[in-house]
Every structure is written in C-alpha cells, then in structure tokens.
Amino acid sequence: MNMIDQIADKWSCAAKSKYPDELPSQQIVRYTLKFIISNTIPIFIVLIASMLLGITKETVFALIGFSSLRMFSGGFHFKSADMCIVFSSLVIILIALGGNYFENYSFAMYLASVILVMIYAPSKIEQQTRVKPEKFKWFKIISLIIVSLIYIINIPVMNLAVLVQSLLLIRLRGGEKL
C-alpha cells in the first residue's frame, strides 16, 4: 500500500468513526480523500519548488496548459499514485524551466499536438470518468479546441505543456500501466 492509500485509509476511518451518520460509507470517504490528496499534493510541491526556483509565473502557465488538456484528453497513468505525483511534479517543473527555450517552435509544437490529439485523444479515460464512451468524441473536440486556444494565446511554456501532455496520450506497451 502506498503513502496516499495509507493516509486516505487513516483519515477516512477517523472521519467515519467521528461522524458515522453524517458521512457516506468509509469506502466513499476514502476514495474522495485519495482523489483530493492525489490532486493537491503535486500542485503544492510544484508551487513550492517554483517559488524556490523563481519560476512561479511559468509554473502556473505550465499547470494550466498541461492540466486543462489532460482533463479532457486523458493520457498515461502510473499504477502508483506516489509515482504519479513525483513524475507530474518533475514534468511541470521541467516544462516551466525550459518552456521559453521553445519560443521559436510554437507552430511545430501546435501541429504535433493537434496530430497527436486527433489520433490518440481521449486516451485511457474509461476508468477516470462516468461519461459514456459514445460521448468521448466530444472530449477529442474539446481537446483540439484547448490546443488551438493555447496556440493562439502563444505563451511558450503553455505550448510546451500541451505538447508534453499530447505525447502522454500515446499508448505504451499495448496500453499497460507502469
């Protein structure tokens, strides 16, 4: 059991024992806590690191570009939430640090992102959403709109974040999780 599972287990048991009638089942509370922890820890890690490195603005742009596309396009998932936190945090910091070096490649990044989104989006979202598979075409359309809007905004860090997220749509090893 990983660290996030242990924390979610401990907190959900404590909350459920303290408020047995007010809360839903312990499994629902655990799932909700795990979701909240898994999504907030990387943001805090990234923002603290960005402040220390003096790249807070770039990091916020990277987070917006990456997460807005990821929400609708899906993408690669680690089996371990701990590994996901480490990988996501590192990727966002690297994008924030290096994004401005790709300023002259905005159109190439846009074109590559559009092609990848058209081919692969949505990717691996079946377990991440309650939306019926016949509606997934809308996720692709929304993903293409996001890629295009970010290209129009033309902030190099956001363009790079969208490209990296688009690359994570590619299914590895027959769709297996690492």
Please check whether residue 33 lies inside any domain of the structure: no
Please check whether residue 59 lies inside any domain of the structure: yes
65-109: pLDDT as tens digits: 999 999 899 888 777 777 888 888 999 999 999 999 999 999 999
Please check whether residue 28 lies inside any domain of the structure: no
Confidence (pLDDT) at 169: 93
Please check whether residue 149 lies inside any domain of the structure: yes
43-53: pLDDT as tens digits: 898 999 999 99
Confidence (pLDDT) at 1: 57
Please check whether residue 62 lies inside any domain of the structure: yes
Question: For residue 105, what are the domain limits?
Answer: 41-175
Please check whether residue 60 lies inside any domain of the structure: yes
Confidence (pLDDT) at 136: 83
Mean pLDDT of 21-28: 86
User: CA-to-CA distance for 118 and 110, rounded, in angstroms?
Assistant: 12
Confidence (pLDDT) at 168: 92
Please check whether residue 30 lies inside any domain of the structure: no
Reported pTM: 0.81
DSSP 121: -
Please check whether residue 10 lies inside any domain of the structure: no
Q: Is 126 left (phi over 0), alpha (psi -120 to 50) or beta?
A: alpha
Check if the beta carbon of residue 145 is closer than 8 Å to that of residue 50.
no
Res 37 pLDDT > 90: no
Check if the beta carbon of residue 102 is closer than 8 Å to that of residue 95.
no
If one counts the domains in the chain, the total is 1
* pLDDT above 70: percentage of residues in the chain: 93
